Structures are given as C-alpha cells and as structure tokens.
C-alpha cells in the first residue's frame, strides 16, 4: 500500500503592501477574472468566514484584508488590546476559500499620518457615531483606501455593522468608486448572540446574560410590527422597555436602543418594511451592537 504523507494545509498568498496586492490583482485581471474584497480587522470567526463564502459566488478571486484600523478607535477604546491572531486567521481564510490575504502596515494605509481624511457625513453622526465620535470617519477613510488599492468589482460587509454598511455605500457613491457593495446577514450563536471578535471579552457569566440583547431586539421587532404598537409613542415606549430589559439582564450601559429606518437611519414614527431596531450596550468588558428588521 502506498501511504502518502498528509498534505500540508495550503496557505493563501499574502500581500504585505499595496504594490504586492496590485501585482496579484493585475495577474488575475489579465486572465479575465473578477475580484471580490472582504475587509476585516482579523481575529476571524464564522461571521467573517460567511462573508468569504458569500462573495465567492460573486467574484472569481477573493481578497481578504486584515488591518486593525487605528482611526476608527476613540481615545480609551480597545485599539491596543483588540485581538490579533494572524496565524490562525490565515488557516481559516484558506479553509473558507480566500485566494489572497492583504496585510498592510500602518505606513501603507496612512503614509501622511494617522488621521481620518474622509467624512462619513450625517449617517456617521447618529447611533454609534454619537457614542463614538469620529468612528465612522475612520471607517470611511480606511475602506476608501482599501477599495482604491485593490479596485475590486465587489466588496462585502456584514449587516452586523449595519450603520457601517450604510456609511460605506454612501462613501462609495460620493467618491464614485466603481465597486458594487453587497451585504451579508448576521451570523449568530445558537442563543442568538451575534458573532463578534469582541465576544471574547465576555466572562462566562456575562456571555450567558449577553443573549438578552438579541432576544430583546427580536421581541421588540415582532411587537413593533403589530398594529397596536405601530405609532411613534408606542415605538418610544418599546424602546424604553427594551433599554430597561437590558439593564435588568446585567448590561451596565445602553448607548442607544432605537427604531430607525434602514436607509437613512431616521427615527421611526411608525414601522414599515424598512424599519429596523438597533442597539449598542455594554456588558462586562464588551460593548455589543446588534440590529434586526421589524418583522410584521
């Protein structure tokens, strides 16, 4: 019997700066292949991997970028301690079918200094933008760079960061970037908690309590769609109830819990097909966000 040694797991190609990235992209383009980009900050979980799998149906080649972007972190936030695990990420990207991992350095992204130079506009002022001033300018600035460096046909973003998705759609339209932005649904744990790199900050006890976030939003989204709750006063009452439920469950701060429309993020005065409920709240060492469409 001819026993073969196990094959080493294939690793995807790595580009460490924009020149290397563009060389790969040029080779693929000359072969007539289309390019998809999955921007991430690494510490990959199944939510990120679902983005890689989804974009494979939209493009011949998939680039996954990993860059922990300092300009989207505020003073006192977790930039320094944000989880970094590039070795493990490479294996996961290979298994999910990514072709190239882009690992730019700070100087590649911000050669003229680490500051945001693209405004997210009014979409970046509400919700997470109100509690994290400048956050979405940082997101817009880094994603614009990634898109210009890679020039993909399509880029994918998770609805987990729904406000970010809208900011990026707006930014690409304003800058006339020739890229199609697509969205992926939120991947959740069995108890409903949305997967997030920051979930690892939760203690075992807080991890159990954290399920109250998705459970509360699910309940409020269902009730907001019923005729009895479908006016501004009722929606405000549901928001207040939801905030209290999170505090009762062990969250220590609720930054917001709002019904808003899913395009312009304006406060909803009645629920329609576009309405979503959005929340950000702190439990233990983690600030968690989640959102859901109103279901009725």
Residue in 254, 279, 244, 54 with CA at minimum distance from that of residue 292? 279
Q: Which of residues 96-125 bind ligand AMP (CB under 6 A)?
A: none
- Whether residue 261 contacts residue 288, with contact meaning beta carbons closer than 8 Å, is answered with no
Shortest reach from residue 89's CB to ligand AMP, in Å: 10
Residues in Cβ contact with 233 at an 8 Å cutoff, skipping those fewer than 6 apart: none
User: Counting every residue, how long is the chain?
Assistant: 296
Q: Which of 24, 48, 135, 170 is catalytic?
A: 48
Nearer to ligand AMP, 169 or 236 (CB): 169
CA distance 122 to 238: 25
Interface residue with ligand AMP among 12, 36, 47, 70 (CB under 6 A) is 47
CA distance 256 to 21: 39
Burial of 53 (0-12, 13-18, 19+ CB in 10 A): middle
Stretch of 3-11, 182-190, 211-219, 280-288 lying at the interface with ligand AMP (CB under 6 A): 182-190
CA distance 273 to 41: 32
Which pair of tokens denotes residue 263? 């395009």
Q: Which helix (H) or strand (E) holds 89?
A: helix 86-96
Q: Contact between 187 and ligand AMP (CB under 6 A)?
A: yes
Q: How many residues bind ligand AMP (CB under 6 A)?
A: 17
Nearer to ligand AMP, 135 or 223 (CB): 135
Residue in 153, 152, 117, 146 with CA at minimum distance from that of residue 17? 146
- Mapped onto helix, strand or coil, the DSSP state of residue 282 is strand
Which pair of tokens denotes residue 220? 């409020």
**Which residue's Cβ lies closest to ligand AMP?**
158
Stretch of 23-31, 128-136, 192-200, 237-245 lying at the interface with ligand AMP (CB under 6 A): 192-200
What is the chain's Cα-based Rg?
20
Per-residue interface string for the shown chain with ligand AMP, residues 132-171, x marking contact by CB under 6 A: -------------------------xx-xx----------
In the residue annotation, 48 being an active-site residue is answered as yes
Nearer to ligand AMP, 147 or 184 (CB): 184
Shortest reach from residue 135's CB to ligand AMP, in Å: 12
Q: Contact between 184 and ligand AMP (CB under 6 A)?
A: yes
Interface residue with ligand AMP among 51, 123, 213, 224 (CB under 6 A) is 51
Per-residue interface string for the shown chain with ligand AMP, residues 204-243, x marking contact by CB under 6 A: ----------------------------------------
CA distance 160 to 116: 23
Q: Which residues bind ligand AMP (CB under 6 A)?
A: 40-41, 47-48, 50-51, 157-158, 160-161, 184, 186-187, 194-197
Active-site residue set: 48
């Amino acid at each position: 019997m001819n026993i073969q040694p196990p094959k080493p797991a294939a690793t995807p190609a790595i580009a460490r700066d924009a020149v290397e990235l563009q060389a790969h992209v040029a080779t693929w383009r000359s072969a007539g292949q289309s390019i998809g980009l999955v921007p991430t900050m690494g510490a990959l979980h199944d939510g990120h991997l679902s983005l890689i799998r989804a974009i494979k149906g939209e493009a011949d080649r998939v680039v996954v970028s990993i860059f922990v972007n300092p300009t989207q972190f505020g003073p006192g936030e977790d930039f320094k301690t944000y989880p970094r695990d590039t070795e493990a990420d490479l294996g996961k990207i290979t298994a999910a079918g990514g072709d190239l991992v882009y690992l730019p350095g700070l100087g590649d992204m911000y050669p003229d200094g680490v500051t945001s130079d693209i405004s997210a506009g009014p979409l970046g002022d509400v919700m997470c933008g109100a509690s994290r001033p400048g956050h979405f300018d940082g997101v817009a600035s880094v994603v614009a760079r990634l898109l210009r460096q890679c020039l993909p046909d399509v880029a994918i973003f998770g609805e987990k960061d729904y406000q970010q998705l809208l900011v990026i759609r707006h930014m690409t339209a304003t800058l006339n970037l020739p890229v199609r932005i697509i969205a992926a649904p939120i991947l959740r744990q069995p108890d409903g908690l949305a997967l997030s790199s920051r979930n690892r900050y939760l203690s075992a006890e807080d991890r159990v309590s954290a399920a109250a976030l998705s459970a509360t939003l699910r309940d409020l989204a269902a009730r907001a769609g019923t005729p009895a709750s479908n006016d501004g006063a009722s929606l405000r009452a549901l928001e207040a109830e939801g905030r209290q439920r999170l505090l009762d469950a062990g969250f220590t701060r609720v930054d917001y819990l709002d019904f808003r429309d899913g395009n312009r993020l304006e406060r909803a005065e009645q629920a329609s097909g576009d309405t979503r409920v959005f929340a950000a709240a702190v439990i233990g060492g983690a600030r968690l966000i989640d959102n859901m469409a109103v279901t009725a």
